[in-house]
Structure formats: C-alpha cells, structure tokens
Amino acid sequence: MAIRKHAVNPEDDLGFGTQAISQRVVNKNGTINVKREGIPFFNTTNTYHKLISMRWPLFWLMVLSGYLITNLIFASIYVSIGIRNLNGAEGKDFLHHFLSAFFFSAQTLSTVGYGHISPSGVATNFIAAFESMMGLLAFALATGLLYGRFSRPTARIAFSDQLLVAPYQLTNGKGLMFRLANKRPNLLLEVTVEMIFSYNEMVDGKPMRRFYTLPLERSHVSLLTLSWTVVHPLDENSPLHNVTREDLKNGNATFAVLVQAFDETFSQTVHARTSYMYDEMVWGARFTPTFYNDNEGKVHLHLGKISDYTEAELPALN
C-alpha cells in the first residue's frame, strides 16, 4: 500500500523546498541538518551566537584554555624582557623564573596584585599595564557571556526515543504516537505541537520531497504537567493510512516534531524540536505509564520511562 497523495501546501516544507533529500530534515537534538559553506574562517558574524549556544563543557574548555594561553604568552614576554625586571621573583633556573612570571601574569590579569612580585622598568610596567587592561575587558566579556547563557530562555523537553504505531481506541484502528514531557519543574503554558511528515516521491521521473502537516488528535494543552502522548490517527484521512514499513523505507520518510510553549519562569515563548526516521518506528507497541501515585496520593513523574513501551497487537488492515 503506497503513501496516499494529498494536496501539497508549500508552507509545510520547513524551508527545504521540493528537492529530494536522503538525510534528516531536523536532527534529534533539534538543530537543522544544514551545513553552511563559503563563510570566511575568521568570521566574527556568528561568534557571539556560537559562544552563547555551544555546550557547557566546550564553553568552559574555551574559557580555561584562553586563560591559560594568555598567561603563558605574557609569562614568556616577561621572561624575554628579563626576570630581573620582576622584583621578588624567586628561583635560579629557567623553570622557576618562568613559573614566577606565569603567576605574576595571573595576578596581573585578574588585577589581584598580591604585591609579592612587582614590575620594574618602563617596558615591564607597560606590559603589566596592558595586561591588566586586557584582563578587565576579558572578565567583563566572560561575565556577559555567562549572563547571556544563563538568561537565554530554552525549553528542556524529553521526547521518546521511538515513534510507535499503536492501537488507537478512539477509532478502533491505529495511531502514530510519540511522547514528550518537561524535564524542568517549571510550568509550560499553552503548549502546541506540530508534526510534519516528509518523504521522497517520483514525479514525472524526478525525485521530489513532499511535506505534509499531520492532523493530531490533540495539538494543544493549556498546561504541560505530566507526560503527553501525541497521536496522529491513522484513519482514512491520513496520508499514512495502511502504509507499510517498506513504503516508508522506499520514500526515506522522516517525521519532524515542532513544539512551542510559553515558559512561566522566563515569561517568554520557548521552542523545542526533534525528528524520527522511518527506522526509528516501532510497529505493534504502546507506551507504558510514566507516572504513578504514592501512598500519600502524590503524583510522581518518572522521566526515565518516557520511552518505555510494551508490545501490542495491531488491528487488521481495513
């Protein structure tokens, strides 16, 4: 059974147009699967964006590496000028001289200035003054970046690892389902979900990419308090009605999920995205519960079970 053809809405193509593609449209982590080329290597256009959006381990690695490299450079300059120009520098060999210059650089860069080592001579004082100015600017920049990273409104949505084809009781048929939940204890309001199905299709002998926004059983909730199982009914109105695994594989089918919500903490709209490939679908399964009540009647949500499912028999093809 082939994928049913529906009227194409150009607004559903997620900006990719009709060119056939063999990759994910949206990556699992929500980023768009497009590699940009032709940008100069030393391009400052996206520097701030990269520093704000990069992962925390990489950010701290860059900060610490920059701090270490800067002190190594200035320590080398002090040693090259002459260690005698650093009053209080101890040691008789090169290693001790370099360490004294390194720690003096660290104290100057951070404007701590313990006073144990002090510069003498015009050249050394000029370098120390320049380094202290660089330190003030660098720490101001780092403070701004930290504030920007902490204050940037983001959604932390947990999505199920698989897309299930499960029994759907409301139509006594099947439904295409995934599950999501808020990882944070804050409240998300006016949550809306959009699910876009895309596949490659031969049109007049040429491969083209088709995009369809799938109608959902429920595309909006006022409050996201527990987990939410999003369902696309596989009824006679669905382009996926009675579709098979082979049909989805031949069309290199993908499902992009777009979530939008209002974050009560930030008082701003936040977004989250993910996607599923045809080979990330489980046929004949249903999700198991993610929450339970304790002895006191309090509800517990177990985010580690967001992807848990059990086998279920699917109804026969219509």
Predicted local confidence at residue 221, as pLDDT = 96
Degrees, nearest 5: CA angle 59-65-68: 145
Q: Where are the domains of the chain?
A: 10-34+154-311, 47-151
**Of 60, 49, 46, 50, the residue nearest 142 (C-alpha):** 60
Do the two domains 10-34+154-311 and 47-151 of this chain adopt the same fold? no
Question: For position 1, what pLDDT does the model report?
Answer: 47
pLDDT at 46: 78
What pLDDT score was predicted for residue 279? 94
| pLDDT recorded at residue 42 | 67
C-alpha to C-alpha distance for 306 and 157, rounded to whole angstroms: 11
- Strand 157-159 to 86-87 pairing: unpaired
CATH number of 10-34+154-311: 2.60.40.1400
Q: Which residues of the chain have pLDDT under 50?
A: 1
CA-based max dimension of the chain: 92
Q: Which fold has domain 47-151?
A: Helix Hairpins (1.10.287)
**Contact at 8 Å (CB) between 127 and 101?**
no
Task: Check residue 6 and give its pLDDT.
Answer: 66
